[in-house]
Amino acid sequence: MRPMAQIAMVMNLDKCIGCHTCSVTCKQAWTNRSGMEYVWFNNVETRPGQGYPRRYEDQEKWRGGWELNRRGALRLKAGGRLHKLAGIFSNPELPEIKDYYEPWTYDYRNLTEAPLGDDFPVARPVSQLTGKPMKIEWSSNWDDNLAGAPELAEQDPMVQRLREQASEKVKFSFEETFMFYLPRICEHCLNPSCVASCPSGAMYKRTEDGIVLVDQDRCRGWRMCVTGCPYKKVYFNHRTGKAEKCTLCYPRVEVGLPTVCSETCVGRLRYLGVMLYDADRVTAAASTADDKALYEAQLGVFLDPEDPAVRSAAEEAGIPHDWVEAARRSPVHALISKYRVALPLHPEYRTMPMVWYIPPLSPVVDALTGTGHDGEDLDNLFGAIDTLRIPLEYLAELFTAGDVGPVRASLGRLAAMRSHMRALNLGDPPDASIAASVGMSGTEIEEMYRLLAIAKYEERYVIPTAAVGDARRLEESALPDGCSLDYEGGPGMGGDGPFGQDSGRRRLPLVSVENFHVLRRRQTTDREDT
């Protein structure tokens, strides 16, 4: 057993109202630069829909993720090492900017500088690539709220796969549609195919928290990571010629703050926490022959932080004590492993993604209520989950490689929670058989309800600081007590460089870091000195 820690996220899709606040705040924080106009580290898609970039889930075209070779071993779908190097001079599977969308701005100056005339001046859209007027034909959320669905949603790769398997049609006529929102960020996978695709070795997974990053100084712009990522969440900055991706806001996470997308989420649907996993089991789990068994296989990789053996192994592996404690309180661990309501996005890509989703029950409840039924009656709900086959199978294509079982179980638990809590709220004694029918106890259901419905900030985001047990020291300064350069073999020890003290060395930026835990402690404590 080789325990490692990973900061993971769970999103509760039932709560997503598709407001794009996460996307906009992320864009303002991270990709508000030239060369990154078309890039959204966080985007919200309406499903069924083509997604961003268009049809990114069609891996027969884009060749992202892993596949099994004839011997049952993992290989990159875009080809092995030699294949990659031989084809390094161009990358036939690279999406063009137009597959995302052509970024544009508006000719605002014309509004004030247009000569006097009969017509009102307008601000024409101008392409940010060519600088010429353009016709806007696509964007990152062009098909929001099923806009143009009768034509566009047919191109959803998951819809097409459903069509091949089941004879019944996914309906896009107005009365029969269903939809939900899917916010997506980088999955920070346990078996990242983007990292494996990088010829320069510039991409890496951090050992402390599992965040996948691009070293901007080592990236040489070979673009293989863009192809390698099946979620298309590594982007090519066309100004600097370097790959960039979601950083899980690591500067915030390091000081105990949630990511920008989580912090600003209006629906409070995101959960952040630590997952402990066994690094020795990752490859075997990712090589599971059956696509549909990959969800269970990934569950088998996670370690239970309540297990004393796991905790001592984690301690030996150098995982700080407060990280193990955070793993025990982790809302993410509870939703994934304990209540089993969260599911991975496209486990069939074999990258072991670490941003999981609680499938939406609301289309089912809405459909029931819309037809005059009691949307919170358990029998009605159970019946509806099964008969509304299209959402269920569609969800299964997204979250479990087409296996309806886990999706049904997850929705069943959510449905049972609704019925159980309704009884409580109406003052009725809860029917114990409801909880039992989904394999949970009444208390467990109430705990799950608390986590899903009313969990406060510090219950949704359980993030141990990077500076282990040093939160106090971090209060006012990023500098530790001693000189930060004063470590073994560091410049503080070694005297001056050939051309004076700063020769050839990079200086640390001196920043004052305010962190959430310190702020809260200061504002809620009775003592004056803190």
Q: Which residues bind other proteins (CB under 8 A)?
A: 81-82, 84-85, 87-92, 94-97, 129-132, 191-192, 195-196, 198-201, 203-208, 216-223, 236, 238-242, 254-255, 320, 466-468, 474, 478, 480, 484-485, 487-488, 490, 504, 508
Residue 462 Cβ vs other proteins, minimum distance, rounded to whole Å: 18
Provide the minimum distance between the beta carbon of 81 and other proteins in the complex, in angstroms, as a whole number: 5
Of 375 and 491, which CB lies nearer to other proteins in the complex structure? Answer: 491
Residue 296 C-beta: closest distance to other proteins, Å? 22
Both tokens assigned to 306? 């309540």
Q: Which is nearer to other proteins, 171 or 321 (CB)?
A: 321
For residue 86 the two structure tokens come to 């031989």
What's the min distance (Å) between Cβ of 89 and other proteins?
Answer: 4
Closest to other proteins by CB, 38 vs 172, is: 38
**Residue closer to other proteins, measured from CB, 129 or 455:** 129
Q: How many residues does the chain have?
A: 530
Measured from the Cβ of residue 511, the count of other Cβ atoms closer than 10 Å reads: 9
**Cα 444 to Cα 337: distance, rounded to the nearest angstrom:** 13
User: Three-state SS across 76-125?
Assistant: ECCCCHHHHHHCCCCCCCCCCHHHHCCCEEECCHHHHHCCCCCCCCCCCE
Q: How far is the CB of 94 from other proteins (least distance, A)?
A: 5
Bridge-based pairing state of the strands 66-68 and 180-184: unpaired
Distance, CA of 441 to chain centre: 30
CB 478 → other proteins: shortest distance, Å?
Answer: 7
Q: How far is the CB of 513 from other proteins (least distance, A)?
A: 8
Phi, psi of 76 (to 5 degrees): -65, 135
Query: DSSP secondary structure string, 431-474?
Result: -HHHHHHTT--HHHHHHHHIIIII--HHHHB----SSTT-TTTT
Question: Cβ closer to other proteins: 242 or 245?
Answer: 242
Q: Are 340 and 413 in contact (CB under 8 A)?
A: yes
Residue 375 CA: distances (Å) to CA of 25, 72, 74, 161, 173: 35, 46, 45, 30, 23
- Provide the token pair at 519: 């702020």
Smallest distance from other proteins to CB 121, Å: 25
Rg, the chain, Cα only = 25
Residue with Cβ nearer other proteins (164 or 481): 481
Give the alpha-carbon dihedral of 496, 500, 506, 508, to 10 degrees: 80
